[in-house]
Amino acid sequence: MKFNNSPIGIFDSGLGGLTVFKEIRNILPSEDLIYFGDTARVPYGNKSKETIIKYSSEILEFLSVKGVKIVIAACNTSSSLALDDLRKKAAIPVFGVIEPGAKKAVRVSPSGNIAVIGTAATIKSRAYSTAINKEISFLTIDKNLKTNNHTKIIEKACPLFVPLVEEGIINEEITKSIIKYYLSSLIAEKPSCLVLGCTHYPILKGLISAELGRDTEIIDSGVETAKAVKYYLEENNMLKKENKNGSELFFVSDDIDKFKELGGKFLKRPIENVYLTDGIK
């Protein structure tokens, strides 16, 4: 296929999608990657569906012009509210992060309570509940896995997590207190697993896990999305043919210095090749 050596496009409202970028890089070291962080308009989680579709569509167009072979909406808010629109507009495959996370949750906890945390927009959309229930129905019909029809899905909006991560306020006591505040009601439900329904949240994974305890497995949608993307590229003969390390380009809509500083903490290495673009207004 002629698109073999074209790059993979990844976007998010800001820095959070770098957790997905990191997993894609780990599992597909030879692929060229282009990342767009909409740092001028973060966060998306408190915006209307119409606005999120507009922003996501603009970024899709930007990445398409860059010649990417697939696009990953590494943003749960975009995945929950804009994915169908993006797929209708795009001439290339568009992946979200919700379906892979939902599938993993059902396989981890086919008969227990499943908790999901995310932005207000993601939780309000009930995208995870829909995806999880769809997967439960599929597995029940397929008879590969026995499921409990009474599985309870507990969703909780945690709107302060994104700004805390974006500002680099990670290990301070205020962050721990906010995590405790948000998760207290979930702990009472004794979930078997908890889905991190926002790509910013893996940065807080250690603190979240400590609050929930060992009996609750944490599911990172970014990890599951990376696996799904690799499988798709393999099945469709779209993997890059060269074995050398892939290139990386980063674009932001505002504040390169902050992106490089905090983004380096996300990836645990320096970020180079970061450009400010006026292609997104």
Instruction: State which amino acid sits at residue 201.
Output: Y
Could you confirm whether 198 is annotated as catalytic?
A: yes
Cis status, amide bond into 43, omega within 30 of 0 = yes
pLDDT of residue 173: 94
Active-site residue, from 24, 157, 183, 198: 198
Please report, for the chain, the start and end positions of each structural domain, with discontinuous segments joined by +: 8-96+223-276, 98-221
d(CA 187, CA 43): 27
157 falls in which pLDDT band (50, 70, 90)?
very high
User: Could you tell me which CATH number the domain at 8-96+223-276 has?
Assistant: 3.40.50.1860
Instruction: State which amino acid sits at residue 64.
Output: S
pLDDT of residue 135: 87
Please work out, in degrees rounded to the nearest 5, the angle formed at the alpha carbon of residue 146 by the alpha carbons of 218 and 183: 25
User: Could you tell me which CATH number the domain at 98-221 has?
Assistant: 3.40.50.1860
pLDDT of residue 279: 63
> How many C-beta atoms surround the C-beta of residue 149 within 10 A?
8
Contacts of 213 (CB under 8 A, 6+ apart): 187
Q: Give pLDDT tens digits for 99-126.
A: 999 999 998 887 789 999 998 888 999 9
Per-residue pLDDT, averaged over 228-233, amounts to: 96
Q: Give pLDDT tens digits for 21-41.
A: 999 999 999 999 999 999 999
The separation between CA 60 and the C-alpha centre of its own chain, rounded to angstroms, equals: 16
Indicate the average pLDDT of the chain.
90
3-class DSSP state of 251? strand
Active-site residue, from 75, 162, 223, 229: 75
User: Of residues 248 and 4, which shows the higher confidence score?
Assistant: 248
Q: How is residue 198 annotated by DSSP?
A: S
Q: How many CA atoms lie within 13 A of 250 on its CB side?
A: 26
Could you confirm whether 193 is annotated as catalytic?
A: no
Q: Any alpha helices (H) in 188-267, and if so which ranges?
A: 205-212, 221-235, 256-267
- Asked if pLDDT for residue 1 goes beyond 70, the answer is no
pLDDT of residue 143: 52
Per-residue pLDDT, averaged over 167-191, amounts to: 92
Bridging pattern class, strands 70-73 and 114-118? unpaired
Cβ atoms of 111 and 146 within 8 Å: the answer is yes
pLDDT of residue 243: 80
Element (H, E) at 165: helix 161-166
Please report, in angstroms and rounded to a whole number, the separation of the first and last CA atoms in the chain: 34
Say how many residues make up the chain.
281
pLDDT of residue 103: 92
Please work out, in degrees rounded to the nearest 5, the angle formed at the alpha carbon of residue 241 by the alpha carbons of 103 and 33: 60
Q: Note whether 8-96+223-276 and 98-221 share their fold.
A: yes
pLDDT of residue 42: 86
- What six digits make up the tokens of 273? 């090749």
Contacts of 89 (CB under 8 A, 6+ apart): 57, 60
Strand-pair partners of 251: 36, 275
- Asked if pLDDT for residue 142 goes beyond 90, the answer is no
How deeply is 272 buried, as exposed, middle or buried, from its count of CB atoms within 10 A (0-12, 13-18, 19+)? exposed
pLDDT of residue 144: 54
